[in-house]
């Protein structure tokens, strides 16, 4: 593929409209093209039959379509499916479909980077280091590929940005992708059916919240010392500053604010840790999702006993917090929270 050509999935409709104006073409044609792409799943200009032949020929001189390629697809007994995807430069990412028995609750977990630079010690993605950001087209492409591979029964109802990488470290491309996902003229997801997770890039959290999506904060420890040992990002964005930031959000909206807390045996799972966490989050309308560590090859940590997880939850609930135990789908195929590494 010639380097001068652009993958059309990396453009927003208004960007293609501007390109049309510059090239003395009819700007409204851009909307027609994206209707074919996002509503009809057509990725071939020759099949866009309401476009003039001359325009189709011109477009092929400047643009092409590339979707991530499925090189491996694994199925878990609990209904989860993991897609190993090859990108155009032969790098790999993973996406996970999570099937729910409740209607309209099926989710797709999306990646935003190849690897991750933040080095959380309980996460498999950190073991491969950071390679690059994904483009908006690669983020959206994960959805297009997965939905095409799934049956109608397995329609994707929700999107969760909890795959490989730190979403807010790829902020500009994430915003572009979210604008396509939430536009009624494109993919049409309600912002309240999208959750973006972050390890805590504090300056961007208010901007993310302003987009109307749900926000999940990866906290994982109730004090700075312990959190810094598990999550190096805490050295730049300390826990107290993170909590101060979320207290400043307008949480009177219908958006959901969640604290994600991965429980590590003997590290952050004591009742004293639970008490500290309850004090830290007191009077914040936030849900706490407790996730027993999902093990992966080479991990130095182990999961606490179920009884300890229940005791931790009860301590939080007795302090007035909404605390839930979240079972990670796809653990058997290394598709659970913290298990993705984009390896064949």
Q: Is pLDDT at 276 greater than 90 in this prediction?
A: yes
pLDDT bucket at 62, cuts 50 / 70 / 90:
very high
CATH number, span 69-333: 3.20.20.70
The tens digit of pLDDT for each residue in 64-93 reads 999 999 999 999 999 999 999 999 999 999
Kindly report which listed range (149-158, 192-201, 241-250, 320-329) carries the lowest average pLDDT score: 149-158
Is this model's pTM higher than 0.75 or not? yes
Read off the pLDDT of each residue in 91-103 and give the average, rounded to a whole number.
Answer: 92
What is the distance between the alpha carbons of residues 37 and 291, in angstroms, rounded to a whole number? 37
- Give the pair of three-digit tokens for residue 115: 């690897």
Read off the pLDDT of each residue in 166-173 and give the average, rounded to a whole number.
Answer: 98
So what's the pLDDT on residue 1?
A: 43
So what's the pLDDT on residue 3?
A: 52
Read off the pLDDT of each residue in 212-228 and give the average, rounded to a whole number.
Answer: 97
Q: Is pLDDT at 2 greater than 70 in this prediction?
A: no
pLDDT bucket at 176, cuts 50 / 70 / 90:
very high
Return the residue matching tokens 């001359």.
54
**Domain definitions of the chain by residue range:** 6-64, 69-333
Q: Is pLDDT at 29 greater than 80 in this prediction?
A: yes
Q: Is pLDDT at 260 greater than 60 in this prediction?
A: yes
Contacts of 7 (CB under 8 A, 6+ apart): 63, 64, 65, 66, 88, 135, 137
So what's the pLDDT on residue 151?
A: 79
344: nearest Cα among 90, 150, 42: 90
- On whether the CB atoms of residues 326 and 332 are closer than 8 A, the answer is no
Q: Is pLDDT at 192 greater than 90 in this prediction?
A: yes
So what's the pLDDT on residue 101?
A: 77
83: nearest Cα among 91, 94, 92, 99: 94
CATH number, span 6-64: 1.10.150.530
- On whether the CB atoms of residues 219 and 212 are closer than 8 A, the answer is no
Residues classed as catalytic: 94, 337
The tens digit of pLDDT for each residue in 109-161 reads 999 999 999 999 999 999 999 999 999 999 999 999 999 999 777 899 999 99
Q: Is pLDDT at 309 greater than 70 in this prediction?
A: yes
So what's the pLDDT on residue 273?
A: 98
The tens digit of pLDDT for each residue in 197-210 reads 999 999 999 999 99
Read off the pLDDT of each residue in 240-268 and give the average, rounded to a whole number.
Answer: 95
Read off the pLDDT of each residue in 51-62 and give the average, rounded to a whole number.
Answer: 95
């Amino acid at each position: 593929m010639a380097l001068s050509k652009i993958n059309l999935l990396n453009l927003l409709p208004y960007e293609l409209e501007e390109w049309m104006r510059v090239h003395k073409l009819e700007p409204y044609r851009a909307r027609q093209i994206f209707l074919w792409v996002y509503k009809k799943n057509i990725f071939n200009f020759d099949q866009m039959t309401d476009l003039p032949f001359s325009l189709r020929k011109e477009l092929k001189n400047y643009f092409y379509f590339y979707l991530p390629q499925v090189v491996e697809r694994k199925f878990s007994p609990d209904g989860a499916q993991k897609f190993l995807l090859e990108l155009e430069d032969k790098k790999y990412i993973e996406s996970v479909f999570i099937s729910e028995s409740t209607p309209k609750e099926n989710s797709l977990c999306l990646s935003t980077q190849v690897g991750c630079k933040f080095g959380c010690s309980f996460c498999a993605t950190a073991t491969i280091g950071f390679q690059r950001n994904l483009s908006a087209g690669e983020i959206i492409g994960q959805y297009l590929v997965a939905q095409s591979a799934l049956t109608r029964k397995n329609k994707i109802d929700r999107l969760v940005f909890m795959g490989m990488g730190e979403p807010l470290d790829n902020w500009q491309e994430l915003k572009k992708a979210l604008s396509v996902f939430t536009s009624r003229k494109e993919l049409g997801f309600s912002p309240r059916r999208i959750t973006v997770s972050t390890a805590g890039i504090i300056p961007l959290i208010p901007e993310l919240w302003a987009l109307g999506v749900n926000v999940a904060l990866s906290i994982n420890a109730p004090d700075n010392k312990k959190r810094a040992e598990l999550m190096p990002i805490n050295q730049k964005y300390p826990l107290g500053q993170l909590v101060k930031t979320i207290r400043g959000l307008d949480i009177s909206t219908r958006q959901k604010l969640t604290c994600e807390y991965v429980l590590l045996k003997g590290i952050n799972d004591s009742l004293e840790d639970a008490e500290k966490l309850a004090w830290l989050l007191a009077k914040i309308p936030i849900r706490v999702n407790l996730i027993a560590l999902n093990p992966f090859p080479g991990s130095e940590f182990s999961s606490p006993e179920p009884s300890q997880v229940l005791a931790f939850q009860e301590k939080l609930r007795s302090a007035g917090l909404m605390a839930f135990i979240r079972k990670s789908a796809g653990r058997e195929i290394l598709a659970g929270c913290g298990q993705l590494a984009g390896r064949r």
